[in-house]
């Protein structure tokens, strides 16, 4: 670390519209950028903490990064640690003059991505979904859980009946009690029992975080053919590991920003692969820096499912551009993450 110069910058990114979830609405993102410089070569990472979604608070993140710079060692809270590891990976890839995905052993330079729609209903939902379809997306994730179960049921049926050809995911953000979740999922399954293909790819985080018994109850409902994914229950990682080993889940929706170290991420994916569990990587509505890092990791580790990285349109302004075409994120050409972020509006910490 003696030959490494570290700089921190903070930035606030306004959303184009509030993101309504079962936890309330999100209006803006406060992020911190980490810049490593060694022998004239720079590497970048981003910390985009979202307290209550598995990371530390913004103040805790900034304090941890300041302490890490002073100590010359990685921080010990997740978003800050992810930024630190990202900057180092970007720097090392640029030093070797290779894209980041190749640094970690990958060969694919594109990543499938899904579009995400908030908890909206009726014509507004159909119009928003059609707009995503027109842009080339074939996987949509719909937020549920912000309303009563009957409204969620109608929302799920409305989107499926309007778009029978789409791959659908529903994200409840831990809003349902297990009894409501079981009843609702069986109703949805019954509505579309004529074809397993019409069922959603998975229901993400249907029951409360910390209620592992609820996941086991879902697992034991053998009359259900609906796949269940976990997101928030992956933090802390020990909790997620228990659910994986119990075979209580079918898929993992992984937020690298909440896991912290890239080593944690790699170990979790190895365990999922060993247990035949699908996995995708997703952002926490980050800027282009974090999304690019996660996309490179997904490509480098061979993810073959649509990842939650098509979130740039939620930001009024960004520090870089990631090109998405026909539902696929095309990784930027060049070494490291493929671009130098525009931090002209960011402020030194």
Q: What is the tens place of the pLDDT at every residue in 81-134?
A: 999 999 999 999 999 999 999 999 999 899 999 998 888 888 899 999 999 999
Q: DSSP string spanning 310-341? A: --GGGBSS-SS--EEETTEEEPPSSSBTSS--
| pLDDT interval class at 242 (50, 70, 90) | confident
Q: Cα–Cα distance between 309 and 328 in angstroms, integer?
A: 10
What is the model's pLDDT at position 346? Answer: 96
CATH number of 5-97+343-348: 3.30.390.10
What is the model's pLDDT at position 159? Answer: 92
Q: Cα–Cα distance between 10 and 232 in angstroms, integer?
A: 26
Q: What is the tens place of the pLDDT at every residue in 167-195?
A: 999 999 888 888 888 888 888 888 877 66
CB distance 89 to 43 below 8 Å:
yes
Pairing mode, strands 5-21 and 347-348: antiparallel
Q: Structurally, what CATH architecture does the domain formed by 110-330 represent?
A: Alpha-Beta Barrel (3.20)
What is the model's pLDDT at position 95? Answer: 98
Task: Count the Cβ atoms, other than its own, within 10 Å of residue 100.
Answer: 28
- Residue 230 three-state SS: strand
Q: What is the pTM of this model?
A: 0.92
- The domain segmentation of the chain, as residue ranges, is 5-97+343-348, 110-330
Q: What CA dihedral angle connects 254, 310, 58 and 212, to 10 degrees?
A: -30
Q: What is the tens place of the pLDDT at every residue in 204-228?
A: 999 888 777 888 777 766 456 788 9
Per the model's pLDDT, the better-predicted residue between 7 and 234 turns out to be 7
């Amino acid at each position: 670390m003696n030959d490494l110069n570290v700089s921190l910058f903070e930035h606030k990114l306004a959303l184009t519209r509030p993101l309504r979830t079962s936890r309330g609405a999100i209006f803006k993102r406060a992020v911190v950028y980490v810049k490593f410089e060694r022998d004239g070569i720079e590497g970048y990472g981003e910390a985009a903490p979202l307290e209550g979604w598995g990371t530390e608070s913004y103040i805790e993140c900034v304090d941890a990064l300041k302490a890490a710079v002073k100590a010359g060692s990685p921080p010990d809270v997740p978003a800050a640690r992810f930024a630190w590891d990202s900057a180092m990976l970007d720097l090392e890839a640029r030093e070797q003059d290779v894209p980041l995905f190749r640094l970690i052993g990958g060969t694919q330079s594109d990543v499938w991505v899904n579009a995400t729609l908030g908890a909206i209903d009726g014509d507004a939902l159909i119009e928003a979904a059609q707009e995503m379809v027109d842009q080339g997306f074939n996987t949509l994730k719909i937020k549920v859980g912000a309303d009563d179960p009957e409204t969620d049921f109608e929302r799920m049926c409305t989107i499926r009946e309007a778009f029978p050809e789409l791959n659908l995911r529903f994200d409840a953000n831990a809003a349902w009690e297990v009894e409501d979740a079981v009843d609702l999922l069986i109703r949805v399954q019954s509505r579309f029992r004529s074809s397993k293909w019409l069922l959603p790819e998975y229901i993400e985080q249907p029951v409360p975080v910390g209620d592992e018994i609820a996941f086991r109850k879902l697992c034991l409902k053998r009359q259900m053919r609906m796949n269940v994914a976990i997101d928030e229950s992956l933090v802390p990682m020990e909790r997620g590991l228990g659910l994986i080993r119990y075979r209580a889940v079918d898929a993992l929706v992984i937020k690298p920003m909440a896991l912290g170290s890239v080593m944690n991420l790699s170990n979790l994916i190895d365990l999922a692969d060993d247990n035949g569990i699908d996995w995708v990587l997703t952002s926490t509505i980050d800027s282009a820096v974090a999304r690019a890092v996660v996309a490179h990791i997904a490509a480098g580790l061979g993810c073959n499912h649509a990842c939650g990285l098509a979130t740039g349109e939620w930001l009024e302004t960004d520090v870089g551009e990631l090109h998405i075409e026909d539902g696929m994120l095309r990784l930027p050409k060049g070494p490291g993450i493929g671009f130098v972020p525009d931090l002209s509006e960011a402020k030194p910490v």
